[in-house]
Structure 1
């Protein structure tokens, strides 16, 4: 264990290895790992936005969930070096448990890891057209060309588009090990979610995790400022 003064090289309380983070409020290695996972999140979101097959989408979603939870894991371990950082991370954990979006994603990662179901579901597209169709005309919608509010039928006629929803992916309820269910989020930080798609939810989480990493950085920066002030004295 680290000596009571907290000075000099000590034994890391998390890994049992010697470390040189001294008496800092947060182990800097945790911040570096969090930054790495933020890069993973950014890459996963770009892959989610790229479209492609449902299989590719679910792979990117899993990568996003893994990086998301890994940030919590890294900062939790890094916060064990001081009462100040433990208190900070405790507040972040409480905020996660109380927030629909943050808690859903956290449990979705656990469900993906320990369960057999995916946290996403592919929904087929559908279209509603306003057309006059002779009894003898058969329409194969796969051959209909949509252009905004109009659609060109296979026989060349034009029709008005009442509704056109392309194929898309939605979030579905997940469960924890105690079989408690967590439904897809509708709110985040006290505000209604306007885009509840997996991509929309991932972008909101990305913004939150960037701010969380910034707060962790400020803990370390505060230590550095305090150390500089002490030297000046």
Structure 2
């Protein structure tokens, strides 16, 4: 086994894990984008290091070609590959952010007063019901989302929507962190298989 190569694969995998954890705990959208980008790059670097580790042996190279085809054909892994490619070589964003929403309604016949200030660093909203009414408030905070990736290869355009399946199974969430966790899980599965294969 090429232990030096596998050490590099594991280092890249740790870096990808750390970047994803930092993206999950980001304080703002810009910090999230920076850490998500680092995750995409280091996840891909781990697969590249694994391919180079295996490349020299024909038997193992054939095994890795099967893994490589699976990764390329899986909607989730292909999305991560294409997002990395756009992030590295393109200009389009690979994530977006949902808007802040606020809705209030009065029950019981009365109305309400709203005092709201959004977008000045100390966002707040207060709702004061009129006598005889109850107010129901719904708000959603901005959150990062994955966006459709558009790949233009010499005039041929391909589009990759955020994935809804992985390894033949429907996935419950397309939130970036959840997609990242599945991508890391796949990498871990491949690394475990490679270590068994290289013995």
TM-score range relative to shorter protein: 0.7 to 0.9
Q: Does residue 170 in structure 1 map to residue 145 in structure 2? A: yes
**Are 1:123 and 1:169, in contact at CA under 8 Å, matched by a contact in 2?**
yes
1:50-199 superposed matches below 5 A: 50-131=25-106, 132-133=110-111, 137-140=113-116, 142-144=123-125, 153=127, 159-161=135-137, 163-178=138-153, 179-199=157-177
In structure 2, how many angstroms separate the alpha carbons of the residues matched to 1:158 and 1:209?
51
Question: For the pair shown, which has the larger CA radius of gyration, 1 or 2?
Answer: 1
Write out per-residue CA displacement over residues 144-187 of structure 1, whole angstroms, 9 at most, x where no aligned residue. 3xxxxxxx5257986223x4322101101113351322111011
Unpaired runs of at least 5, structure 2:
118-122
Write out per-residue CA displacement over residues 45-68 of structure 1, whole angstroms, 9 at most, x where no aligned residue. 211111311110000000100011
Change (3 A) 1:206 1:75: same
Instruction: Considering fraction of residues, name the structure with more strand.
Output: 2
Q: Does residue 211 in structure 1 map to residue 189 in structure 2? A: yes
Give me the CA root mean square deviation: 2.1
Write out per-residue CA displacement over residues 7-28 of structure 1, whole angstroms, 9 at most, x where no aligned residue. xxxxxxxxxxxxxxxxx5xx33
- With normalisation by structure 1, the TM-score equals 0.73
Unpaired runs of at least 5, structure 1:
1-23, 145-151, 223-233
**Are 1:175 and 1:182, in contact at CA under 8 Å, matched by a contact in 2?**
yes
Aligned to 2:18: 43
Helix, strand or coil at the partner of 1:180: strand
**Are 1:101 and 1:205, in contact at CA under 8 Å, matched by a contact in 2?**
yes
In structure 2, how many angstroms separate the alpha carbons of the residues matched to 1:96 and 1:76?
12
**Are 1:126 and 1:165, in contact at CA under 8 Å, matched by a contact in 2?**
yes
In structure 2, how many angstroms separate the alpha carbons of the residues matched to 1:119 and 1:213?
26
Helix, strand or coil at the partner of 2:36: helix
